[in-house]
Chain A
Amino acid sequence: MERSHGRRKRGLRPVFELVFPASLTSASGAERSAEGAPNVPDERGVLEGGTKSPLALAPESAALAPAARGRARPQARRDGLSGAALHRQWWVPYLWLAPSLAGIGVFGIYPFVKAVYLSFTSTPPLGGDSTWVGIENYVLLAKDPEFWLATRNSVLYTLVVVPLMVVLPLLLAILVEKRIPFIGFFRSIFYTPVVASMVVVGLMWVWLLQDQGLINSILRGTHLIHRGIPFLSNSWLLLFSAMGLTLWKGLGWYMVFYLVALANVPRELHEAAQIDGAGAVRRFLNVTVPGVKPMMLLVGTFTAIGCMRIFTEVYVLSGTTGGPGGQAETLPFYIRSAGLDPSSGDAGYGSAISVVLFALTLGFAILARRLARGDEPS
């Protein structure tokens, strides 16, 4: 605790105090009274305990210390000073942050808080009076087989797609990293699905996978099968087909991430490992993978979040019911039908499913972070 407190002081104070010089005084005052002794910077700007005062670290800020600030600003204006001096006003950082904060507040925090509130109500999906129902929506959820089916599908989707999405783009990036003729062409080809619309790509996959589609026609033509493989009518195959579509569309995107990460792995390490007799596989496992591990965790986290929100792939491949009997529907699919149907939907129930979805997504994100922390050197 003591150490982390110290780290926080060292890490945050300079920025915080440069922005809020007045707060520095009061915060220091609180600490002083807590410690029972004054802790003001001496003439060299050094605090008790050896920590250098942030005022000393930032001479310009020291020049604008509270006492001088009141004089400096009008003086600056009188002198016709623009920009630099005025940008040190206490409220200027807030001004720059305001648009982003407003966006996050309006489109992120407010809808989230509203969704949590709605999950304890029964609310018509397109406006109208809400009725407070307490935890009834969550009790209903626990007994709702369609919810559990959708949860199983979403979790399965995540568990299958995340490992593949972490590994396959890395292998692809290693392949296209090589400097050989026409490699730019191949990089572009692999990246093409990223820029295509998911609906268009989904329809292409329908044409490929349907009973009379290209894949079944080839398999039938070569007498490998007699009847078509039910990619789009068997709920399991439908779900795995949707996973394949997600992977195919995401490969190029994450390949670019890995190309950046691979460029940062020192070539000397590979050369040293080669001199030590390490083969390609050993170099990949012991040099490349540790070098790109932070990126792998980032890709894993992004993919997990994306997989929990899968909707379009399943909708395009399976139709409006989410496959035969709705057996391939995912959580967002179920939120749409349970919460947003204009005649019988309940935004409260839909919000309760959304909150569970959020908790699951957060769980996967924390898991990824734990895995990352576990690999950090102590």
Chain B
Amino acid sequence: MRPKRVWSGLASVALGATMALAACSGGTQTATTTKVGNCNVPSANVGSGAISGDIKGNITFQTTALKDSFSQVFNPLISAFESQHPGVKVNWVDDDASGDFIARQLTTANGCNMPDVVNLNPPAAQALVNAKFLMNFDQKAPDIKAPFIPGVYDTSTIPGHDGHYMLPWYWAPLVQTFNTDLMKKAGLDPASPPTTIMQQLDMADKIAKASGGQYYAFLANPINPNSARLPSDWQVMKVQILNSDHSQFTFANDSKALAWVTQMAKLYKDGAMPADSISQDQDPSQLYAQGKLVWGSPIPSFLRYVQKNAPTLYPITGVAPGAWDARGYAQFEGQYIGVPVTSKNPATALAFAKFLLSDEQQLAFDKDPKVVIFPSTTKALSDPFFTTVTGSDPFAQARKVAAEEAKTSKVDNVWEWTDAVNQAIGKELQLAIQGQEDPKTALQNAQDKANQVLARTKNK
């Protein structure tokens, strides 16, 4: 009898598993769902018509690299939302932003496993909007725009797509941070930091001559995401990166780009930059903390790192506005919030997004002593915390500088400068900076390859 029971048990398990798999395969598409990519999403989440319904159910909220350091901010925030809406449960997850962040978000989206509320940077938002995975707030929540700084909200759009698919969250204008002692050693005046990119490169030349390889001006890799050199340097120099209709890259014809590459190659040869930083994505913070780098990270929160890891360098770290050159203003370097159309509880997801971006919750995050960040709503930005900064240490200095820059900051993304374009241009410029390729040839090759990538992207 026992074998009989075993086999019948096995058969039951197999039958059950088959039925479960059939149920999971989503074969029961109804009239209330719409196909987006590989996913059947609620039809109410796409097209026209605002989202309505009860705030209930479970949602997932994904941040980017915040969970390790800011649980004291987000746990109370989530608890407050849950207590306002009994029965609602918010599951907080975090992406550490390592590696291929954009590809990871797209893969998750195509697997129909997107969180309900997601923290994105502009390139990731662009990729998800191109794949039609983000909700259009103009149609689904037309009243959501009211509290945001109008200039910031209006420019938070994605080329080729009408409407708003991402809501601005926290942001920070970039600043200059530098080791004043090393500047003095190199014969430079720390009270007169550079205001243009070419001025900075000329200063780096003096640093190379004075340092004898003991310290460096900055890192060499032009596409190192931790140094933010390209395309930022070319943007502020007003290099003609693209033609007027953004169908072709044109930087190779611009003498300013050629001067930039030529000077970078000279600096590399003279030892103004660590030789092995040419292709690595090193974090300048580490070398700065060792006292071997003149310019530190342009992100204001970097000063907390210095205070903690190199306390002797903290008092001698200077802070100044970024070298905004011909452009004249700081770029809005912001983080955004999106609500994917795959959400099963869109009303709850939208309610949570509004709660997260409310004046009160944004201020709670911005006032965290570890960061120098600003809110995206008009009322929160006028809080005395941002308008009356006290203290004279580098961190307070950074708050003052960033608050001043914030007044004129604008969104200025080069949307066509995708990761693949970045790699194509970066590889050629690395060769030019190393002296393996003539700067003019390298620029032309970089432009040709970038245009090939752009053509492939537009054909998709």
Contacts and interface: CB of A to CB of B under 8 A. Distances in A.
Contacts of A93: none
Contacts of A319: 221, 279-281
B60 interface: no
A262 interface: no
Contacts of A77: 3-4
A324 B431 contact: yes
Interface string B280-310: 1100000000001000000000000000000
A233 B278 contact: yes
Contact of A212 (B110, B292, B427, B460): B292
A83 B7 CA distance: 12
Nearest to A80: B1
Contacts of B103: 126, 340-342
Interface stretch (A10-18, A59-67, A111-119, A224-232): A224-232
Contacts of A124: 460
Interface string A117-157: 00000001011100000000000000000000000000000
Contact of B278 (A83, A324, A345): A324
B4 to A, nearest CB: 8
A323 interface: yes
B91 interface: no
Contacts of B1: 80
B110 A324 contact: no
Contact of B419 (A82, A322, A343, A346): A343
9 contacts: A209-B276, A212-B274, A324-B427, A324-B431, A325-B431, A337-B420, A343-B127, A343-B419, A345-B420
Interface in B416-460: 418-421, 423, 426-428, 430-431, 434, 436-437, 453-454, 456-457, 460
Given A86-B3, A127-B110, A343 B418 contact: yes
Given A127-B110, A230-B276, A343-B457, A320 B423 contact: yes
Contacts of A126: 103, 106-107, 110, 131
B407 interface: no
A177 interface: no
Interface in A324-377: 324-326, 337, 340-346
A344 B430 contact: no
Interface majority SS on B: helix, strand, loop or mixed?
A: helix
Interface in A70-129: 77, 80, 82-83, 86, 124, 126-128
B275 A337 contact: no
Given A212-B292, A325-B427, A231 B38 contact: no
Interface residues of B, number: 44
A337 B431 CA distance: 19
A216 to B, nearest CB: 9
A39 interface: no
Contacts of B223: 321
A210 interface: yes
Nearest to B130: A343
Among B1, B4, B38, B420, the most chain A Cβ lie within 10 Å of the Cβ of B420
Contacts of A322: 279
Contact of B456 (A80, A82, A344): A344
Interface in B98-146: 100, 102-103, 106-107, 110, 127, 130-131
B279 A233 contact: yes
A326 B427 contact: yes
Nearest to B454: A344
A228 B103 CA distance: 37
B290 to A, nearest CB: 8
B37 interface: yes
B418 A344 contact: yes
Contacts of A324: 278-279, 427, 430-431, 434, 436
A111 to B, nearest CB: 16
A154 to B, nearest CB: 18
Contact of B280 (A318, A343, A346): A318
Given A325-B431, A342-B127, A233 B457 contact: no
Given A343-B418, A344-B418, A344-B457, A321 B423 contact: yes
B430 A228 contact: no
Interface string A167-186: 00000000000000000000
Nearest to A326: B427
Nearest to B452: A344
Contacts of B418: 341, 343-344
Contact of A341 (B221, B278, B419): B419
B130 to A, nearest CB: 8
Nearest to B37: A127
Given A212-B274, A321-B423, A325-B427, A344 B281 contact: no
Interface in B206-241: 213, 221, 223
A127 B39 CA distance: 11
Contact of A233 (B423, B426, B434, B454): B434
A37 to B, nearest CB: 43
A340 B106 CA distance: 11
A179 to B, nearest CB: 45
A297 to B, nearest CB: 37
Interface string B394-423: 000000000000000000000000111101
A340 B110 CA distance: 14
B128 to A, nearest CB: 10
Contacts of B427: 321, 324-326
A210 B276 contact: yes
A233 B274 CA distance: 10
Among A228, A326, A340, the most chain B Cβ lie within 10 Å of the Cβ of A326
B99 to A, nearest CB: 9
A234 B276 CA distance: 8
A20 B454 CA distance: 60
Nearest to B39: A127
B127 A211 contact: no
B2 A233 contact: no
A228 B214 CA distance: 12
Nearest to A125: B103
Contact of B423 (A227, A337, A342): A337
The 5 closest A-B pairs by CB, nearest first: A232-B276, A325-B431, A319-B279, A344-B456, A344-B420
B279 A211 contact: no
Contact of A325 (B37, B130, B276, B428): B428
A247 B456 CA distance: 39
Given A324-B434, A342-B102, A344-B418, 8 more contacts: A86-B3, A127-B110, A230-B275, A233-B279, A320-B281, A324-B279, A324-B427, A343-B457
B102 to A, nearest CB: 6
A26 B76 CA distance: 75
Contacts of A337: 420, 423
A359 B396 CA distance: 61
Contacts of B279: 232-233, 318-319, 321-324
Among A231, A232, A324, A340, the most chain B Cβ lie within 10 Å of the Cβ of A324
A228 B213 CA distance: 10
